[in-house]
Structure formats: structure tokens, C-alpha cells
Structure 1
Amino acid sequence: MYDQHCQALKGLKLKATPKRLAILSLLAEESAYVSPEEIWRKLQGKFGRLGLPTVYRNLEELASGGVISKVIHPNRQLYYYFCPNRHHHHHFICIACRKVEDIDFCGMDEIAKNISGTVLSHIVQVNGLCHTCSNQQEGVAL
């Protein structure tokens, strides 16, 4: 995985610094999306001097290059997720357990037919409850 992370950084013309590699490794080990603050707390012990702004800056560089994905939570908090899937796709986000699933469908061609302008980019994120969390919610009295 280390070599893949180095190659990804090289492709973005970014140095493979220990902090960038640690951020990528941490995200790759997680099975859910993570906040910048959580990343910062988990890596503070590894690096004597790691500021939260450094974590934010590195996350933005990696997300801009498509190495990691941004997750925009309904609470407006920004999270990040390492997605090894490199082809064009979107994500289903469980807002309860933070699980992320790939959606291998994009309806952009159909949407573009109904737009009078030129689409330059798009972001599709589907928020909800995964099957497990949905079943747990059914047993809870609302």
C-alpha cells in the first residue's frame, strides 16, 4: 500500500512526506469516513509537531487530486474517505455508522439532457441509513 500511496502523490506532483503518507495510510485503514479533527488526534502521537491546519491542507490537496473523497454530512461537517475505486462513480453515505458504499451508476447523461448549459463537473452523494442501521432504527420508538 505504501508504494501505491507514493505513486498517487507522485501523480499529483506532491512530495511523499511522512505526514501525507500517514494521512493516506490512516484513511486507507478506516472503513468509514473520518473528520480532519479525528485524523489530527490519531496522528498527534506519531508526529511531535502536527498542526490541524497541516492536516486540513493535506486533505484538501489529496481530495483535489482525487486520491481521497470528500463527504459532506447533513450537519455540514466535512469528512474524508479513502476510496480505492478509481473509475467514475458516486457514494452512498450512512449517516449513522459512517459506512460508505460505492454506487456504480451515474445518471449525469440523462440530467445533462435537461440542462441548457454545459456541465463541467458534478458531485452526487446519497445520504441515508445502511441496511443494518435502518433495521436498528425500526426497533426504536420515535
Structure 2
Amino acid sequence: MHALLNETKEFRSAQRIHADLHARGIKVGLTTVYRTLSSLADAGEIDALRQPNGEQVYRHCSSTHHHHLMCRSCARAVEVAGPAVETWASAVARQHGFTEVNHSIEIFGLCDSCASSSDH
């Protein structure tokens, strides 16, 4: 599964990953794919995000903390740093007495290509 995720820059659903594995002759159950993806995400080895439609998608990303811009139409994803967000999150946490805070921010919109197409 690691090799498959390392080959693409796009986020993929568990169902798509399952189908891709089967196309390669790797027979694994969908439940095992979900469980493995969840474990990899919990360990910080892959990124997981919930799309506006509620579907969870996964991809191998850089090892540093980052956020994503994601196209609602073509699912193109761009990793972005957010120093202002990091400062704000730390300040809010301190203000309320929280420590060891984690956060995840995903920004959804239309990429240039999709925004300029006649479909939108």
C-alpha cells in the first residue's frame, strides 16, 4: 500500500486504493485497506482528509506539518504552510490552558484549470 500511495500526488479513497491493489494482483479485503489506512494516518505516515462530501481520502505527503488546498472538482491538492495559523492555534490554546495541541486545516475551492473551464 505504501508503494501505491508513493506513486501518486493525488488523494485517493479507500475504495480506489482497494481497486488499484486488485488491479495489480494484490488480493486484500476492503476492510483491511480501511484499517491499514487508518493506522498509517494515525501514525502520521500518510495524510487523511475528509472532503466536503464526507468521503475520507488519503495520500502520502511531506513529513513536515502542513495544510492543503484542494480542488472540489478535480481533487488536485497543494501542500501549503500556514505560519499565521500556527501562531493563532498556539495562542488560542495557551489562552484556554491547552497544551500539546494538534490541528488540521483543509481549504477547498476550484483550481485555476477547473475555474476557467466551461463546466463551472
TM-score, normalised via structure 2 length: 0.85
* Equivalent position amino acid for 1:75 in 2: N
User: How many angstroms apart in 2 are the aligned matches of 1:44 and 1:96?
Assistant: 26
Q: CA deviation at 1:140?
A: 4.3
Task: Tell me the equivalent position of 1:74.
Answer: 52
Superposition RMSD on alpha carbons, in Å?
A: 1.7
Query: Aligned pair 1:131/2:109, yes or no?
Result: no
Q: How does 1:30-109 map to 2 (within 5 A)?
A: 30-45=8-23, 46-48=25-27, 50-83=28-61, 85-106=62-83, 107-109=85-87
Deviations 1:6-47 (A, max 9, x none): xxxxxxxxxxxxxxxxx1111111231100001111112422
User: How many angstroms apart in 2 are the aligned matches of 1:72 and 1:100?
Assistant: 13
Query: Aligned pair 1:122/2:69, yes or no?
Result: no
* Equivalent position amino acid for 2:76 in 1: K
In proportion to residue count, which structure has more strand? 2
Q: Which runs of 5+ in 2 are unaligned?
A: none
Q: Which runs of 5+ in 1 are unaligned?
A: 1-22
Shifted more, 55-64 versus 102-111: the winner is 102-111
User: How many angstroms apart in 1 are the aligned matches of 2:55 and 2:65?
Assistant: 24
Deviations 1:48-105 (A, max 9, x none): 3x1001000110111111111002100001110111x211211111121111101112
* Equivalent position amino acid for 1:86 in 2: S
Relative to structure 1, the CA distance from residue 63 to residue 78 in structure 2 (aligned partners, 3 Å threshold; closer, same or farther) is: same
Identity of aligned residues (%): 29
SS at match of 1:61: helix
Pairs aligned (count): 115
Deviations 1:111-142 (A, max 9, x none): 44344231521111111111111111xx347x
